[in-house]
Amino acid sequence: MKILSTVRFLIASVGISLAACHSSVEPQENNWTYAGGETTVFSTGPDAYTLPLANLNKDGLQKHLEADAMFAQQFVTEPAERFGGLGPIFNQNACESCHIRNGKSAVPAYSGDPSSGLLLRLGTESSEELPGFGNQLQTKAVFGFTPEGKISIEEREKIVRFADGMETKIRELQYGIQDSYIPLPASTRISPRMAQAVYGLGLLEAVPEEEILALADENDRNGDGISGRPNWVWDKQQQSIRLGRFGWKAAQPSALQQSAAAAHNDMGLSNPLFPEENCTGQNNCGGDEKMDISNEELELFTFYFQTLGVPAPRNQNSNKVKQGRLLFFEARCNACHVPTLHTGPHPIRELAYQTIHPYTDLLLHDMGEDLADHRPEGKASGREWRTPPLWGIGLTQVVNPQATFLHDGRARTIEEAILWHGGEAEYSKQFYMKLPKSEREKLLAFVESL
C-alpha cells in the first residue's frame, strides 16, 4: 500500500514517542471532570482537540499517529501515484482544511472565499439532491473541469431585548450561489453547513442504539413540548437501515460512513462505500473507475477521529459555574443536551463501557423557522437538527479564533446561539431572556466551562 508506506515513513522520521422528557440521571459532582470517562484528556490550549484517547495502548497510539498523518494529507490530481484522485470537482483537498485543529471551520470571510470550511448542501423541498448539482455545491475543480459555483454571503444584524431591558445584537447570514456552471433550478434549496469538530466521535458511536432510542418521545406523550426522534438512514456497509447519529441532521450511521461520505463529497475521493465520482451523471464530470482510496485507508481516516480524546471541562468547583449548571437544568436545556450517556461494546476496547458527559441525545428536534433550511435529509425535516454535543464547546475559539456556532456559523458567541433557538427549544430561550444579566452570565459560564 503506497499511501500507507509513505505515512509510516513520515511517522518513522519524526519518531513515535507518544506513549423531556429525558430522564438522564445527573452524575455525582466529582464525575463531571471526566467528560469522556477514562478517555478524557486534559488540555486548555489550541491543541485541546488533537490529543489521542488518554487510555489508548501503545499499538493504538502508533496507529493513531499513522491516521493523524493521513488526516493531514493534501490530496492531488491523478496520475500521481501517491495521494492522487482529487476531484474532478471538490471543496477542499485535505480533512484539516475544514476541521481546523480538529475543531470547527470559519464562515467565508467574503463571497467566493476559497479557504472557508463551510459548504452548501443542495436539494429541493422534497429531495436531498438538486438536478445537475447533486447534494453538495462543489466550489473547486481540477484542471480541465468547471466548479459548480461560488458561495456568496451577506450579513445583517437584529436587536434582541432581554426582560431586564438590556439589548444585544445577533447576526444573520444569507448564503447564495454565484457563477453557477448551469442555471440553478427554481426549486433549489440551500443548507449551509459548518465543518464540525471531530473529537469524541468514537465514544458517541459506542453508545448503544437502545440507550438513544430510550430518550426519544416522537409524539411528545408527556406534553412537555420536547419530542426528539431518531433519523433512520441507510448503512452502506451493513446494507440495512440503522440509527443515524453523525452530522448536523444525523444522516450517517457510523464513523466509517461519516468518513467515506466526507472524502467523497468534500474531496471527490471515490471509496468502497461511495465508488462513483461525486459528479456522476453531470456534464462537468469525468474521471475513471479506479478507487481513489482503499478500504484500509478509509479505516485509517476513521480510526483517527474515533481515537481523539474529549477535553475535560474546566472550573467545575467555581460557584458561578455551579450556579450556572443549576440554571441550565432549570431552563430545561438538558432535555435535549442530555448530560450523561454510557458506551457499550466497541471494537476499539478503550471506548467501551464508559460513562460520558457529551450533552446530546443524538436525536432530531424541531428548532423553529429561524433555523430551518427546508431541505429534508433521511427522516429529518427541513426544521429538524440533531442536538450537537456541548462537550469541549468552551474551547471552540481557543482552538480556532475564527470559529463560530450553529450549523451555518451565524452565532458569533454562545449567547447568540441560545438566542437563535426556537421550536422545541423556545421555552429554554425564553427562560434565558427573562434572567437578569448576572444570572445569564452564570449560565454562560457553565456552558463555557464544558
Euclidean distance between CA atoms 390 and 213, whole angstroms: 20
Q: Output the tens digit of pLDDT for each of the chain's 450 residues.
A: 333 333 333 333 333 333 344 444 444 455 789 999 999 999 999 999 999 999 999 999 999 999 999 999 999 988 887 888 898 999 999 999 999 999 999 999 999 999 999 999 999 888 899 999 999 999 999 999 999 999 999 999 999 999 999 999 999 999 999 999 999 999 999 999 999 999 999 999 999 999 999 999 999 998 889 999 999 999 999 999 999 999 999 999 999 999 999 999 999 999 999 999 999 988 888 867 788 999 999 999 999 999 999 999 999 999 999 999 999 999 999 999 999 999 999 999 999 999 999 999 999 999 999 999 999 899 999 999 999 999 999 999 999 999 999 999 999 999 999 999 999 999 999 999 999 999 999 999 999 999
In sign, the C-alpha dihedral spanning 7, 98, 340, 232 is: negative
Q: Which helix (H) or strand (E) holds 286?
A: none
Query: φ, ψ for residue 393 (rounded to 5)?
Result: -65, -30
**Residue in the block written with cell 448539482:** 133
Three-point CA angle 411, 372, 229, nearest 5°: 105
Nearest to 449, CA basis, from 343, 356, 359:
359
What's the residue count for the chain? 450
Q: Which helix (H) or strand (E) holds 13?
A: helix 2-14
Q: What is the CA radius of gyration of the chain?
A: 21
Q: Give residue 30's pLDDT.
A: 58
Three-point CA angle 316, 318, 321, nearest 5°: 70
Half-sphere exposure of 390 (CA within 13 A, CB side): 24
Q: Give residue 323's pLDDT.
A: 97
Per-residue model confidence as pLDDT tens digits over 276-318: 999 998 888 886 778 899 999 999 999 999 999 999 999 999 9
Euclidean distance between CA atoms 318 and 83, whole angstroms: 49
Query: φ, ψ for residue 179 (rounded to 5)?
Result: 50, 45
